[in-house]
Amino acid sequence: MSEKLKFAFYWAASCGGCEIAVLDINEKILDVVAKADIVFWPVAMDIKYKDVEAMPDKHIDVCFFNGAIRTEEQEHMAKLLRQKAKVLVAFGSCACDGCVVGLGNLWNKETIFERAYSETPSTKNPDSVIPKTSLALKEGELKLPEFYDTVKTLSQTVDVDYFLSGCPPPVPLILQAVEAIFKNELPPKRSVLMPNKSICDECPREKKDRKLTEIKRIYEIEDDEKTCFWDQGVICMGPATRAGCDAQCPKANIPCTGCNGPGPRVTDQGAAIVSALASIATDPSVISQAVDPMGTFYKYSLAHSILRRKVIKK
C-alpha cells in the first residue's frame, strides 16, 4: 500500500464492550496502526464532530460503527459517517441487531423515563425532573438530543456495507476482518463477516434424542458438561445463532444466549428458536414454561426482528 488507510470508530447506544474488543487484539494493534491511521475515535481521541463534518466525503476508508440508534445524535452521526466513509461496518450486536438496548422497544419513551428518573429505588427525584431537549439558562441554551421511542439498528438507519456481530465481536473475527481490509479481500457488500454456520456446528456437546418434556433453567440441572443443553431441558439459542465464537459459552457450561445474531438463513432469531422448541416438545404446554420469553428468544435481536417493537396505545 502506498499510503496508510484511514479508520474510524464510533460508539452509539451500547455498553462500550465493542470498544474494549478492539483493544483485545493486544499486540496486533501495532500491526493495525502500522497500516492505518485512526482519524476518528471519540472514546480515545480528542476530536469533535465538526472535525468529521469538515472531512471530504469518503475521506474515511473504513468506519467501524458500534451501538444501536437510540437518540437523535446517534442518527445524525450514523448518517454523517455513512457520508464520510467508503466502507461502513456494523460492528457488534447492538449495531447489527439492536442487542439488549433493543429490548427498550417493549416500552415507549415516557415509560422508560418514568422508570429511570422516578421509580428506581436508588432515585431521589421529588420534583419529578426529567431530561428535556433544551433548557434556557442565563449562560445560554443547553441542548440534549431527542430520545427516540424506538431503537433502530444501523442498517435500519443507513446503508451498511458489512456486518460483524457478537457481544462483543470475537477477537479472531475482528483480526480476520481487518486482515481482509488490508489485503483488499473483502467479500461482496452486505456480507456478514462471520462463518456461514450455526453455533451448534461449533459446539462439542453431544446431541441425543431431543425430546423436550420440561423446560428448566441452568441452575435447576446438574450439567454433565457433555450433553447438549436441549437434551437436558435447557433452552440454548445455538440452533438459531450464527457461529464465530467457537461456542465459548457452551464450552464454559453456559447455554448460548444468541449474541452473534441470527444464523444463516434465519430471518427472525426468536421465531426460529420457538419453532425449534415446538418441534421437539412432547406437549404444546411445554412452551409456556419458558421464563421471560422475550428476554430469552429476543435478547439480542428484537429491534432487527419481524416484531421489532411492542405496539403501545396512548
pLDDT at 313: 79
pLDDT at 129: 92
pLDDT at 88 exceeding the cut of 60: yes
pLDDT at 210 exceeding the cut of 90: no
pLDDT at 1 exceeding the cut of 80: no
Helices (H), the chain: 17-23, 29-35, 49-53, 72-84, 93-97, 109-114, 171-182, 199-202, 248-251, 269-280, 293-297
pLDDT at 312: 84
pLDDT at 161: 98
CA-CA distance, 303 to 285, in Å (whole number)?
28
The mean of the pLDDT values for the chain is 94
Per-residue pLDDT band at 245 (split at 50, 70, 90)? very high
CA-CA distance, 23 to 1, in Å (whole number)?
24
208 burial (CB, 10 Å; 0-12 / 13-18 / 19+) is exposed
pLDDT at 314 exceeding the cut of 80: no
pLDDT at 42 exceeding the cut of 60: yes
pLDDT at 99 exceeding the cut of 90: yes
pLDDT at 199 exceeding the cut of 70: yes
pTM of the model: 0.94
Average pLDDT on 103-127 reads 94
pLDDT at 303: 97
Q: 3: which DSSP letter?
A: S
Average pLDDT on 289-297 reads 94
184 burial (CB, 10 Å; 0-12 / 13-18 / 19+) is exposed
Per-residue pLDDT band at 2 (split at 50, 70, 90)? low
Beta strands in the chain (DSSP E): 5-11, 36-40, 60-66, 69-71, 85-91, 134-137, 140-143, 147-152, 162-164, 191-192
pLDDT at 225: 95
Per-residue pLDDT band at 29 (split at 50, 70, 90)? confident
pLDDT at 171: 95
pLDDT at 209: 81
- Residue (of 250, 247, 218) closest to 232 by Cα position: 218
How far apart, in Å, are the Cα atoms of 293 and each of 193, 235, 271? 29, 10, 11
> Cα-flanking dihedrals φ and ψ of residue 2, to 5°?
-75, -30
Calculate what percentage of the chain has a pLDDT beyond 90: 90
Q: Which domains does the chain have, with CATH numbers?
A: 5-100+150-192 (3.40.50.700), 109-148 (no CATH), 199-297 (no CATH)
pLDDT tens, position by position, 133-185:
999 999 999 999 999 999 999 999 999 999 999 999 999 999 999 999 999 99
